[in-house]
């Protein structure tokens, strides 16, 4: 019997009593972003043996944060919103731990009519970076970093080792590289997904000299789609902006993203009327930044071959959608494996 500690809440009525061995794993979750971690959390709560494999050095996925001179800046998701009661409970835990805070319900938009104030749902931010939220959720889970998975074959088998099930918590085009074509249902599901790219740039300025704003949607612009005041978002007042480019601009710079640095910086300075150049600018490439189309309904994919797919491609491109996808898939897998 698996000896993972069980939390209050969901618990399948059945029992899972097949121990992991050198030749056979429990459930292998590939990808330690929020979808993969949410899935593994539900499996562990249900007493299902699970292991998470992440090719990067850290947990977080597209909720990525990178430190510059000891200070984190969010390179991936800019913020998150909450309207799901179950996700709200997770956010409440983050807030109680001092990891998440309400940021703003008011941003600006730059477009044909100039600069306008726009209101919407409350956006949440993380003082220590959004990655800290995924790390908090992953506490106690068996996550192996720097672990590149090469093949997922019928059985299912992960790099030749049998598993009870395999979850691919990543963009469809990346999952497609791992799947044996004989896994027809999962292959069709990932082939139906469509993704767009972006570049994100972290711009450190000598001082805060831009107009008062927290974040700005940039419409009909050849370079920019979103600019956030990271000092306001983080709450430390640092003179740092984070800009996200349009998919069209990113597509022309995926092979050499650092070459886009001058154009991005100039676009930000022109937009905000900044005469002073940035002291440093770091550019990060997201080849698969945001899903634009999925091929099936529901919040996840789970087939008879034992292959699960999770992520924000199964809903709106939101942090909450990715969490919900992994959470629901974890529960469905736990019920199946416990014989419920």
Q: What pLDDT shows up at residue 113? A: 85
Q: What pLDDT shows up at residue 79? A: 97
Length of the chain in residues, anyone?
A: 340
Q: Which domains does the chain have, with CATH numbers?
A: 24-61+132-192+297-337 (3.50.50.60), 78-129+196-289 (3.90.660.10)
Q: What pLDDT shows up at residue 1? A: 28
Q: How far is CA 136 from CA 37, 59, 99, 128, 278, in A?
A: 10, 10, 9, 11, 33
Q: How far is CA 193 from CA 35, 76, 87, 240, 290, in A?
A: 16, 20, 24, 34, 10
Q: What pLDDT shows up at residue 293? A: 72
Predicted TM-score (pTM) of the model is 0.93
The number of beta carbons lying within 10 Å of the beta carbon of residue 58 is 16
Q: What pLDDT shows up at residue 286? A: 98
Q: What is the mean pLDDT of each run of 10 residues along the chain (340 residues)?
A: 38 60 82 98 97 97 93 96 98 98 96 90 97 97 96 97 97 97 97 96 96 94 97 96 98 97 98 96 97 78 97 94 98 89
DSSP 188-223: HHHHT-EEEEEEEEEEE-SS--S-S-SEEEE-S-SS
| Burial of 301: CB neighbours in 10 Å, binned 0-12, 13-18, 19+ | buried
List all residues 6 or more positions away from 2 whose beta carbon is below 8 Å from its beta carbon: 16, 19, 26, 47, 48, 49
Q: What pLDDT shows up at residue 296? A: 59
Q: How far apart are CA 243 and CA 257, in angstroms?
A: 14
Q: How far apart are CA 287 and CA 285, in angstroms?
A: 6
Taken in order 45, 302, 58, 23, the sign of the CA dihedral is positive
Q: How far apart are CA 326 and CA 37, in angstroms?
A: 7
Q: How far apart are CA 177 and CA 334, in angstroms?
A: 26
Taken in order 5, 314, 52, 57, the sign of the CA dihedral is negative
Please identify which residue in the block is written with the tokens 């494999």: 53
The number of beta carbons lying within 10 Å of the beta carbon of residue 105 is 13
Tokens of 310: 């999770």
């Amino acid at each position: 019997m698996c000896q993972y500690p069980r939390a209050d809440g969901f618990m399948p009525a059945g029992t899972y009593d097949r121990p992991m061995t050198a030749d056979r794993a429990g459930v292998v979750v590939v990808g330690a972003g929020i979808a993969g971690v949410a899935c593994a959390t539900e499996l562990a709560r249900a007493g299902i043996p699970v292991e998470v494999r992440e090719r990067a050095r850290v947990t977080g996925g597209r909720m990525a944060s990178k430190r510059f001179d000891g200070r984190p800046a969010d390179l991936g998701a800019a913020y998150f919103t909450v309207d799901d009661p179950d996700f709200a409970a997770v956010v409440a835990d983050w807030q109680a731990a001092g990891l998440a805070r309400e940021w703003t319900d008011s941003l600006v938009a730059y477009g044909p009519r100039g600069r306008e104030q726009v209101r919407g749902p409350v956006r949440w931010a993380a003082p220590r970076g959004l990655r800290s939220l995924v790390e908090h959720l992953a506490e106690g889970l068996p996550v192996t970093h720097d672990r590149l998975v090469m093949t997922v074959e019928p059985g299912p088998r992960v790099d030749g080792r049998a598993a009870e099930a395999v979850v691919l918590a990543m963009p469809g085009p990346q999952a497609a590289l791992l799947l044996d074509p004989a896994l027809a249902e999962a292959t069709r599901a990932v082939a139906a997904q469509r993704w767009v790219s972006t570049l994100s740039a972290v711009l450190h300025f000598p001082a805060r000299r831009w107009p008062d704003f927290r974040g700005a949607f940039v419409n009909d612009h050849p370079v920019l789609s979103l600019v956030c005041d990271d000092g306001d978002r983080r709450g430390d007042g640092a003179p740092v902006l984070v800009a996200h480019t349009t998919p069209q601009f990113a597509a022309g710079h995926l092979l050499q993203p650092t070459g886009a640095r001058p154009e991005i910086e100039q676009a930000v300075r022109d937009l905000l009327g900044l005469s002073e150049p940035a002291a440093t600018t770091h550019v990060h490439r997201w080849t698969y930044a945001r899903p634009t189309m999925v091929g099936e309904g529901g919040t996840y994919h789970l087939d008879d071959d034992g292959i699960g797919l999770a992520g924000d491609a199964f809903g709106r491109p939101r942090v909450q959608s990715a969490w919900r996808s992994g959470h629901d898939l974890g529960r469905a897998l736990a019920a199946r494996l416990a014989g419920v």
